[in-house]
Amino acid sequence: MANTYDALASEARKRWEGLEKGPQPWIRVGTAICGKAAGALETLEALKAELGRRDINAVISQVGCLGLCFAEPLVDITKPGHPRVFLKNVTPEVVPALVESYLAGDRPDPGLALGTLGGNIPGVPSLEDLPQWKRQVRVATRNCGTIDPGDIHHYIAHGGFAGLARALTEMQPPQVLQEVTQSGLRGRGGAAFPTGTKWSFLARSNVSPKYILVNCEEGDPGAFNDKGILESDPFTLIEGCIIAGYATGASHGYVFIRHGHEGPIHLTRQAIAQARSLGLVGQNILGSKFSFEMDVVLTGESYVSGEETALMEAMEGKRAMPRSRPPFPAAVGLWGKPSNINNVKTISYVPEIIARGAKWFAGIGTEKSKGTAIICFSGAIKYPGMYEVPFGLTIRQVVEEIGGGVPGGKQLKLLQTGGPLGGVLGAAKLDTVLDFDAMASAGAILGSGGIIVGDETVCAVDLTRNLVAFCQFESCGKCFPCRLGMTHLLEVLERIIAGEGRPADLELMKAIGQTMAVGSLCGHGQLGFNPVQSGLQAFAEDYKMHLEQKRCPTGACNRLFHKPTRTRPVASGGWYARRDYVHH
């Protein structure tokens, strides 16, 4: 079995060296979601056309997201005898000059050059010296932006499937489970439950078959790291899923991806097919007695289907609504069989944990939050992107040093973290340590890693209303506390925003939130009051001004100042608004 993996690894390394040290330039273009949105496909075609026009022979590969989304379209070039050079914001218009300066010559345009890896070029900084890079510890994202996500040999050349080979040749399933437990890995989907403990529930079951389910619903506004991994390195997810199956005795794995995420869907299916063709998925993997099948399952656009029991309902072809518990999925899950559900990030850490050992992973991070967090920055931030950083940094370090702070000379007012069910942190909490428990104590959760930055122009009350409106729209409606509670919260917030708030409204929302927390079936209702609660804690003055002075501190709630004048009724019995407004 070891020889089988060694043969795969040897062949993969030869192929990689042929690209990296070959006689032709190797050009990599980032074509993940962020790259495509910035025009990467047009840049790719412009590069091909310009190289053809100049009769320059080069190898061009499409890669995923390096994480530096602010620099998209991002192109990196490896020329024979030169380091890898990254060029930022390469639009089709600048392609001719880029080809002339660096591919035909040896002088990368300083205005385009972002940095180098593997050597120095005069006038171009090292990528490792950039604040967006030097703070990172890339584990789950180690190959993102480097390998072609459509070529399994690229992954194997970088140590891919070494963890699986070690598990199958050197370890028994209980030892793999122990390694994951001792690593301190906790779930990266929101609850931060210890992964080894969760796996142990499934491992104890003697019922067959068992299922490993991977959740890539990822409907949180501001979160895109699960999709980023699948678009950039789907193989690490596949390897981790197979290892999870071996550790727990499961025989099938299903990757659950939200319908419409075409890049992750296509690349994951392609990656599974390639792994199967090399004997890494299917019967007797790597010549062992262990067999494991994998497939991709799609669902419609439903935020609640990210909840683990609703996910199983959707996979069974039903409406995505949560189940009552107990029984729990480890006993009665998909199709009534024992199942384990983790999100993409959690499973993607596993190959490196098994390959490098639990002690190595546990040495990164804090006492209770081991490893790294994959942060997605968006909103009023200078350098939006996807950054993998060790737990233990402060939020201020992540926002200001890596994200570059708020642009345009404005001040940071708030951070919305952990998705719409997370919370709102004020600037006073910036020195909170990046840690699951520390952030929960501060009034928010890290959740899936999305952080939306708001500057001084953002009204905390209006932001809270938007979050609650999202949650109200996405409620599946199965249980009364969530369905009615979300609606009532939204009605109260709409009233406050419109300058018609009542003194008792704050206590009313707290009572609604308490009912939702104790009576809802799943986290959607149980956590639905979080954005309001954290907003009240951090921005009590914003609420007070809306309620007592009937005005918005930022002017964002325009309805407080410009209410349409009601005139005569229309035929339908309603009212229409003239285009003249009355100041209130």
| Structure-model confidence comparison of residues 555 and 136, the more confident one | 136
Please give the mean pLDDT across all residues of the chain: 92
Question: What are 35-44's contacts with CB under 8 Å, separation 24+?
Answer: 35/65, 35/72, 35/73, 35/74, 36/263, 37/72, 38/72, 38/73, 38/89, 39/73, 39/91, 39/92, 40/72, 40/73, 40/74, 42/91, 42/92, 43/73, 43/75, 43/90, 43/91, 43/92, 43/95
Percent with pLDDT over 90 in the chain: 84
Find the angle CA(177)-CA(322)-CA(305) to the nearest 5 degrees.
80
C-alpha of 183 from chain center = 22
Find the angle CA(213)-CA(214)-CA(220) to the nearest 5 degrees.
135
Asked if residues 25 and 59 have their Cβ atoms less than 8 Å apart, the reply is: yes
Per residue in 89-106, pLDDT (tens digit) is: 999 999 999 999 999 988
pLDDT of 562 over the 70 cut: no
Which 3 state secondary structure label does DSSP give 267?
helix
pLDDT band at 221 (very low <50, low <70, confident <90, very high): confident
Tell me the average pLDDT across 360-366. Answer: 97
pLDDT of 547 over the 60 cut: yes
pLDDT of 575 over the 70 cut: no
- Tell me which H or E stretch contains 294: strand 293-299
Per residue in 28-81, pLDDT (tens digit) is: 999 999 999 999 999 999 999 999 999 999 999 999 999 999 999 999 999 999
Distance between CA 484 and CA 391 in Å, rounded? 38
pLDDT of 280 over the 80 cut: yes
Beta partners for 296? 255
pLDDT of 573 over the 60 cut: no
Cβ-proximal residues to 232 (8 Å cutoff; 6+ apart), any chain: 32, 63, 64, 65, 141, 143, 144, 145, 147, 149
Distance between CA 231 and CA 148 in Å, rounded? 10
C-alpha of 131 from chain center = 21
Cβ-proximal residues to 43 (8 Å cutoff; 6+ apart), any chain: 29, 73, 75, 90, 91, 92, 95
What structural domains does the chain harbor?
2-130 (3.40.30.10), 152-362 (3.40.50.11540), 372-455 (3.10.20.600), 460-549 (1.20.1440.230)
Per residue in 425-459, pLDDT (tens digit) is: 999 999 999 999 999 888 888 888 999 999 999 99
pLDDT of 578 over the 70 cut: no
Tell me the average pLDDT across 458-481. Answer: 93
Residue 278: per-residue pLDDT: 97
Q: Centre a 10 Å sphere on the Cβ of residue 38 and count the other Cβ atoms it contains.
A: 20
| Structure-model confidence comparison of residues 205 and 565, the more confident one | 205
- Tell me which H or E stretch contains 75: strand 75-78
Select from 338, 337, 390, 385 the least CA-distant residue to 364: 390
Residue 580: per-residue pLDDT: 32
Residue for token pair 């399994």: 152
pLDDT of 272 over the 80 cut: yes
Distance between CA 160 and CA 320 in Å, rounded? 35
Residue 1: per-residue pLDDT: 61
The tokens of 101 are what? 């300066």
Tell me the average pLDDT across 362-385. Answer: 96
C-alpha of 324 from chain center = 28
Q: What is the pTM of this model?
A: 0.93
Distance between CA 389 and CA 32 in Å, rounded? 21
Residue 208: per-residue pLDDT: 95
Distance between CA 512 and CA 528 in Å, rounded? 10
pLDDT of 566 over the 70 cut: no
| Structure-model confidence comparison of residues 568 and 232, the more confident one | 232
pLDDT of 239 over the 70 cut: yes
Percent with pLDDT over 70 in the chain: 95
Residue 570: per-residue pLDDT: 35
The tokens of 177 are what? 């489970």
Distance between CA 87 and CA 571 in Å, rounded? 61
Per residue, the 3-state secondary structure of 182-198, as one string, reads HHCCECCCCCCCEHHHH
